């Protein structure tokens, strides 16, 4: 990859115009890229990520506090954790086209697995940090509200804020008197980069499958899919 990217296209995409264009570019610079481009004249994005992470947490906390006036601290914390975790914000980063503008080393550019997910999430936070520095808190809050907060509806309606395995077990025992069991259906990849497919069963019934880079992750995914398949995802309980 090279740095000959038109970041004005990204500005148009997110509806934000930077005064300091280098600040936006810096938000996309992964540490690995500087190893191959030492004369770039800009630093990597880790300090911006540090700042953006704090802004993201404050903006999200403020939003949830005002939106859910009847929820406890514990519930709000769970909502926030689901909203700002790596999976959620990497999905948002993908949706707004961050992948197309990343400045990575040749090695990192080839990795499209979990490592890329972390890079996307970190870059999203870096962009928030850059907006905050360049345009202030309100602009950063607006960007977060427009890009991330629409995900909250799915998180709440599908109870993604709750441990899916625990919730599916509760529902299974309540509705059919059965404790779910999990079984690995497939394993792919080398030892250091396994990918698992897991099935969740009620007695002999395969209710749903799930995937992940660990058995635990795949089981959680299977439980979430099972809640949807059984329509036990608690729409009436939120």
Q: Both ends of the chain: CA-CA distance in Å?
A: 45
Walk me through the domains of the chain, giving residue ranges and CATH numbers.
7-157 (1.10.1520.10), 164-231 (3.30.160.20)
Flag whether pLDDT at 217 surpasses 90. Answer: no
Distance from C-alpha of 182 to C-alpha of 215, rounded to nearest angstrom: 10
pTM of the model: 0.73
Distance from C-alpha of 150 to C-alpha of 178, rounded to nearest angstrom: 35
- Res 130: pLDDT: 98
- H or E segment at 202? strand 195-202
Residue 120 is given by DSSP the state: H
The predicted-structure confidence for 156-185, as pLDDT tens digits, reads as follows 876 666 778 888 998 899 999 999 999 999
**Of 17, 36, 46, 53, which one is the catalytic site residue?**
53
**Of 49, 108, 125, 134, which one is the catalytic site residue?**
125
Tokens of 224: 């979430």
Q: Among this protein's residues, is 213 annotated catalytic? A: no
Distance from C-alpha of 92 to C-alpha of 152, rounded to nearest angstrom: 12
Q: Among this protein's residues, is 125 annotated catalytic? A: yes
Do the Cβ atoms of 76 and 101 come closer than 8 Å? no
């Amino acid at each position: 990859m090279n740095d000959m990217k038109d970041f004005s296209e990204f500005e148009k995409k997110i509806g934000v115009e930077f005064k300091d264009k280098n600040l936006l570019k810096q938000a996309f610079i992964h540490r690995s890229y500087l190893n191959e481009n030492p004369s770039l004249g800009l630093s990597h994005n880790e300090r911006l990520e540090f700042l953006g992470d704090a802004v993201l947490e404050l903006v999200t906390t403020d939003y949830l506090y005002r939106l859910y006036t009847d929820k406890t601290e514990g519930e709000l914390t769970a909502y926030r954790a689901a909203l700002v975790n790596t999976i959620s914000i990497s999905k948002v980063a993908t949706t707004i086209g961050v992948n197309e503008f990343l400045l990575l080393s040749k090695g990192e550019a080839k990795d499209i697995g979990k490592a890329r997910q972390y890079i996307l999430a970190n870059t999203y936070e870096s962009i928030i940090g850059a907006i905050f520095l360049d345009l202030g808190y309100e602009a950063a809050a607006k960007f977060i509200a427009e890009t991330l907060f629409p995900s909250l509806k799915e998180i709440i309606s599908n109870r993604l804020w709750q441990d899916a395995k625990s919730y599916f077990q509760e529902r299974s025992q309540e509705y059919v008197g059965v404790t779910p069991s999990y079984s690995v259906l497939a394993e792919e990849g080398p030892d250091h980069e396994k990918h698992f497919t897991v099935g969740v069963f009620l007695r002999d019934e395969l209710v749903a499958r799930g995937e992940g880079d660990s058995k635990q992750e795949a089981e959680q995914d299977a439980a979430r899919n099972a809640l949807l398949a059984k329509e036990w995802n608690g729409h009436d309980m939120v």
